């Protein structure tokens, strides 16, 4: 492969990485940037090193849509091993409690409803939450007594897939900030035993699913076979607007395109133009994505009969 620009290529879009076990989210970003020689990247939600699965990585202008990707519901498939509590609430930690109690499938199923909806949850001590400017996991590894407070999280659904003598497989759809490790710990305690997450896979983050994901091996293979400085290989990038699939899309005209790209408010005061706002059901102060000839132009907000640019995409 030829020598590439040191600053990297100006690539915009999403790489839906199927992260392998043992890799941190930061390492995943680094590998994607290196394989594609991309200038700028960020991810939409950390995935623990011991977890596998969906890690959406934004490149270039797509980084402006990361908050929308983070707000999507996430799907996890995981295994709880019963009879032990570990200080990390996963298989990496030290055993701190033991129990001979093993819940039945009926016991587990009967409990599930208590963990669905708006619930309170105390994050694991080994988590990235900050306490007085320090990461909780750094404090825990240093032997400090980490005290985290309960906080509200949302679980849309929780189901038992299979129960075995010492473990159970479950699937959960939840909102941001929900810790699978905390859920496993709390379920076990409610069942009169201890438990930890021994396997974890994220199968979806909103529109980012296993069906449109790519492995590191495939990404490296495609990038090595592509010409230098030719942009991302075909089949690698998802469109910038992928993360915005649940917000209204407003088709704009050429004169409105010029206004928005230059940071100016576009007027929709005439009846035909205002009808376009009404047609997509755009409410006052609501965010939409402005589209011109099928391409994302800007994130905009409605202010009465006007459309105000919030984030302009320079692509």
Q: Tens digits of per-residue pLDDT, 157-188?
A: 999 999 999 999 999 999 999 999 999 999 99
**pTM of this structure:** 0.90
> Whole domain around residue 24: which residue ranges?
13-72+207-242
Same structural domain, 297 and 257: yes
Q: How far apart are CA 111 and CA 115, in angstroms?
A: 8
Q: Indicate the average pLDDT of the chain.
A: 90
Number of domains comprising the chain: 3
Res 137: pLDDT: 66
Distances (CA, A) of 273 to 58, 153, 251, 311: 33, 40, 10, 21
Does a structural domain hold residue 4? no
8 A C-beta contact, residue 161 and residue 79 = no
106 and 175 part of one domain: yes
The tens digit of pLDDT for each residue in 138-154 reads 665 766 666 778 899 99
For residue 155, give every residue at least 6 positions away whose Cβ sits within 8 Å of its Cβ, in sequence order, or none.
115, 116, 117, 119, 172, 173, 174, 175, 178, 183
Residue 8 lies in a domain: no
Between residues 231 and 34, the one the model is more confident about: 34
Q: Quick one: tokens of 10? A: 């100006």
2 falls within a domain: no
Residue 3 pLDDT: 42
Give the integer Cα–Cα distance in Å for 308 and 287: 10
CB 15 within 8 A of CB 30: no
**pLDDT tens-digit readout, 51-62:** 999 999 999 999
Q: How confident is the model at residue 6 (pLDDT cuts 50, 70, 90)?
A: low
User: Quick one: pLDDT at residue 5?
Assistant: 47
What CATH number is associated with residue 234? Answer: 3.30.2350.10
**Nearest Cα to 102, choosing from 166, 152, 55, 148?**
166
Q: Which residues are marked as active site? A: 48
Please give the average per-residue pLDDT across 290-309, as a whole number: 94
Q: For residue range 202-241, what is the model confidence (pLDDT) as tens digits?
A: 999 999 999 999 999 999 999 887 666 667 788 899 999 9
Summarised one tens digit per residue, pLDDT across range 44-92 is: 888 989 999 999 999 999 999 999 999 999 999 999 999 999 999 999 9
In this structure, the answer to whether residues 154 and 109 fall within a common structural domain is yes
Residue 1: what pLDDT? 39
Do 165 and 79 share a structural domain? yes
**Three-state SS at 102:** coil
* 150 and 252 housed in the same domain: no
**In this structure, what CATH number is given to the domain that contains residue 284?**
2.30.130.10
Shared domain check, 133 and 31: no
Please give the Cα distance from 110 to 196 (Å, whole number).
Answer: 19
Tokens 């750094």 -> residue: 138
The residue that leads in pLDDT, 144 or 245, is 245
Give the residue among 37, 35, 69, 34 at the shortest CA–CA distance from 55: 69
């Amino acid at each position: 492969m030829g020598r590439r620009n040191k600053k990297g290529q100006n690539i915009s879009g999403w790489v839906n990485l199927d992260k392998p076990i043992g890799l941190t989210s930061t390492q995943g970003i680094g590998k994607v940037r290196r394989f594609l020689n991309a200038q700028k990247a960020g991810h939409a939600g950390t995935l623990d090193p011991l977890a596998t699965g969906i890690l959406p990585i934004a490149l270039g202008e797509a980084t402006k849509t990361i908050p929308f990707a983070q707000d999507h519901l996430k799907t996890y498939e995981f295994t709880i091993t019963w009879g032990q509590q570990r200080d990390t609430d996963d298989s990496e930690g030290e055993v701190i409690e033991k129990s001979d109690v093993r819940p039945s499938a009926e016991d587990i199923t009967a409990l599930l409803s208590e963990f669905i909806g708006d619930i309170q949850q105390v994050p694991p001590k080994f988590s990235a939450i900050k306490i007085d400017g320090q990461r909780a996991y750094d404090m825990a590894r240093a032997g400090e007594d980490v005290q985290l407070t309960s906080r509200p999280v949302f679980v849309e659904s929780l189901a038992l897939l299979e129960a075995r003598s010492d473990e159970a497989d479950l699937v959960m759809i939840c909102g941001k900030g929900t810790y699978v490790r905390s859920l496993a710990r709390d379920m076990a305690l409610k069942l009169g035993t201890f438990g930890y997450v021994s396997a974890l896979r994220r199968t979806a983050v909103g529109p980012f699913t296993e069906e449109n994901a790519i492995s590191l091996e495939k990404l490296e293979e495609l990038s090595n076979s592509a010409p230098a400085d030719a942009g991302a290989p075909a089949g690698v990038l998802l469109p910038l607007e992928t993360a915005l699939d649940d917000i209204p899309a407003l088709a704009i005209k050429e004169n409105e395109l010029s206004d928005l790209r230059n940071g100016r408010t576009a007027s929709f005061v005439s009846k035909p133009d205002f009808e376009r706002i009404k047609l997509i059901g755009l409410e006052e102060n609501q965010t939409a994505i402005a589209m011109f000839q099928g391409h994302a132009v800007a994130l905009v907000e409605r202010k009465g009969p006007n459309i105000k640019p919030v984030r302009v995409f320079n692509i």
